[in-house]
Structure 1
């Protein structure tokens, strides 16, 4: 018979957490055997896993001790117990995912249990979100937008000193201080910024993933990209807006218009059954038609296209699949970011990012915020 295993640490492995529903900091494993599910966890975690997961059976390593005993090392002991459990079920082959720790693979191989790699295990089931998961993402995005509005309005309503630097109450606004503010505001709301945040302007923003550094200036676009995690549900928000203090230049206005048009084109083809590559092609075609070149992997002085249209999102900020060249079929219930952008050293960058749910028709947008450049109140 063939079984499947997911193993590791549920506080780091989102696929394992999704099954256990407890962010365990100790090694654990999840099995599907003959249509039944088994959770193998530390003994003191058994009750929590019973209460939160839908496992048919919850067990611990001590209940599957080999003849020579279990190792004092927890990872080794859990891998040993996994072997004993599978032997007791007469399992000779087992499907494994891309994240299986080698310590489990080694012990399984030593027991002459054949490993069968399944590239979709732990991935395909996470791509299509349940209604409950979409609710979690919607809530996370709403909080992300609260803090986004706060940051964009703070930048837009600041004063400019003689050097053009933005100031509030005599303090110069910097990329660093704005990220600190975001972290504090998210902390108040039960969110964390484990992956950081982006508050970037020219010239740093020419590198689309540069987090930003130094003072913010009037009339220069500032990209604010926030992607926090809700610590209660472990689902992520992800939203980007671009704000200009004062008057945006004609160049920046043109960049913004192109990005808005590209985003609309992407959303039009973000439909179940279409290909992710079609979404990327729609985005890229619009930006190219507006006169912007593709420059992936190379930072440019003048505005250029540097990345794909978006990515899946859920328990991880970046999840398969990508809305990019070579991307496969879109599934109803998938959730993606759609985030076209343009970047250059001279004029800065513009990016707009929303989170959308794939349907058989018009995608459901989980964002409410406006996407203009002027955030002054």
Structure 2
């Protein structure tokens, strides 16, 4: 009989490892375990019948039936019921060791230890196979990207048709704000079957803070960062695209910043292939920006400026997956999907970021993001 099992206790709406393993979407925490390659999920009466139809597992077990068979003792009277249910099934199968993910709930960890199990925590990725996308997963990501490109393209047309008056931007009589453009993008994404959370539309000094969502009037003649990263409702796979444009006339410094970031994006992307070291890719982006004369470090007020984040990250069922394309070394493999997103951020000028999603091939890469890159939209 097997002596160990892997265990997840979570909601698959928030835990992508659980969804990856079961393809079953459930809002409340459930018990899932694997023993000798067999998948088991424990469901309440609320989800049991649906789980039997939809969950990609070998066995659906009843939480209600298991709970009725549990007899609490003075030792177990204060332990959470899910821990006792796990113990019920694992005793049947003579399990002694448990492998859990790094975000496993601490209350269950402690309870299962008290019940005598030896628990090992596996660092991310819990499922290494998640990093290498199947052809179907690749199609899901591409589909999400195309919806982003449609939504952004329509927002861009809206902005192009707007007019600058008294250093503000108006579409007819309506003031163009970050919130207005975010609403246009997110509404269109929803129509296209995607959910856009925290869509970034940030201009002026707000753009110099990489994750500032943007608020208030869009400032003409300054960079506007559009960072759009929705999840598809059906497949649950993310896209992640960033473009930076200017409504009006950019300064010479902004033009140089854009040229530098675009060059860094291209340089880093063309180093992508199976076997490439992510630290080498990141260093190429850093070096390219430095060659253009853009320094990274604290400004006079102590705020960090320049290229102040990594060059990219993995992408899939989570918006941020391994590997990190940064100074931390890791080796790319065929089938990875990563982002390449260098940027420059200065309080005086604002921010420039360009981001593409890339599929790693044996001898190079496939650029999945197709939307063109350009700075000025009023030409």
Q: Same-fold call, TM > 0.5?
A: yes
Could you say which residue in structure 1 is the equivalent of 2:277? 275
| Equivalent position SS for 1:252 | helix
Shift of 1:301: 8.7
In structure 2, relative to structure 1, the CA distance for the partners of 1:300 and 1:256 (3 Å cut) is: farther
Q: 1:297 to 1:339 in 2, by over 3 A?
A: farther
Preserved CA contact (<8 Å) 2:204 2:219: no
Question: Is residue 164–residue 248 contact of structure 2 (8 Å, CA) maintained in 1?
Answer: no
Change (3 A) 1:175 1:50: same
Could you say which residue in structure 2 is the equivalent of 1:221?
223
2:118 aligned to 111, 114, 119, which one? 114
Rate the CA distance shift 1:371–1:24 in 2: closer, same or farther, 3 A.
same
Give the stretch that moved more between structures: 357-366 or 116-125.
116-125
Q: Which residue of the partner structure matches residue 36 of structure 1?
A: 38
Aligned-residue RMSD, C-alpha: 2.3
TM-score normalised over the length of structure 2: 0.91
2 CA distance for matches of 1:302 and 1:80?
50
Aligned to 1:203, the other structure's residue is in SS state helix
**TM-score, normalised to structure 1's length?**
0.92
Q: Which moved more, 1:243-252 or 1:13-22?
A: 243-252
2:170 and 2:181 mapped to 1: Cα distance?
12
* 2:240 counterpart residue number: 238
Counterpart position of 1:46: 48
User: How much has 1:330 moved relative to structure 2?
Assistant: 1.3
Q: Does structure 1 conserve the Cα–Cα contact (< 8 Å) formed by 2:229 and 2:319?
A: yes
Q: Is the 1:153–1:376 contact (alpha carbons within 8 Å) kept by the matching residues of 2?
A: no
Give, in whole Å, the separation in 2 of the partners of 1:32 and 1:168: 56
Per the TM alignment, residue 316 of structure 1 is displaced from its structure 2 partner at its CA by 1.3
> Are residues 297 and 277 of structure 1, via their aligned partners in 2, closer, same or farther at CA, if it must alter by over 3 Å?
farther
Could you give the per-residue CA deviations for residues 321-342 of structure 1, whole angstroms, max 9, x where no partner exists? Answer: 2111113111221111111111
Kindly tell me: are residues 219 and 158 of structure 1, through their superposed partners in 2, closer, same or farther at Cα, counting changes over 3 Å? same
The answer to whether structure 1 residue 82 and structure 2 residue 86 are counterparts is yes
- For 1:300 and 1:186, the matched residues in 2 are separated by 38
CA distance in 2, matches of 1:120, 1:352: 27
Query: Which residue of structure 1 aligns with residue 130 of structure 2?
Result: 126
Q: Name the stretch that deviates more: 292-301 or 309-318.
A: 292-301
1:26 paired to 2:28: yes
**Structure 2: tracts of 5 or more residues without a match:** 74-78
* Counterparts in 2 of 1:335 and 1:121: CA distance versus 1, 3 Å: closer
Match of 1:100 in 2: 104
DSSP 3-state at the match of 1:349: strand
CA deviations 1:29-55 (Å, max 9, x no partner) are: 221112222122223323333333331
**8 Å CA contact retained: 1:137, 1:235:** yes
Tell me, in whole angstroms, the C-alpha distance in 1 between the residues paired with 2:36 and 2:82.
21
Is residue 296–residue 305 contact of structure 2 (8 Å, CA) maintained in 1? no
Please say if residues 129 and 334 of structure 1, whose CA atoms lie closer than 8 Å, have aligned partners that are also in contact. Answer: yes
Unaligned runs of at least 5 residues, structure 1: none
Matched residue count: 371
Taking the aligned partners of 2:125 and 2:94, their CA distance within structure 1 comes to 22
Instruction: Name the CA distance, whole Å, in 1 between partners of 2:285 and 2:169.
Output: 33
The answer to whether the aligner puts 1:184 opposite 2:177 as a matched pair is no
1:309 and 1:338 in contact (8 A); partners too: yes
| SS of aligned partner of 2:270 | helix
- The within-5 A match list for 1:123-162 is 123-161=127-165
Q: Offset of 1:154 from its aligned partner?
A: 2.1
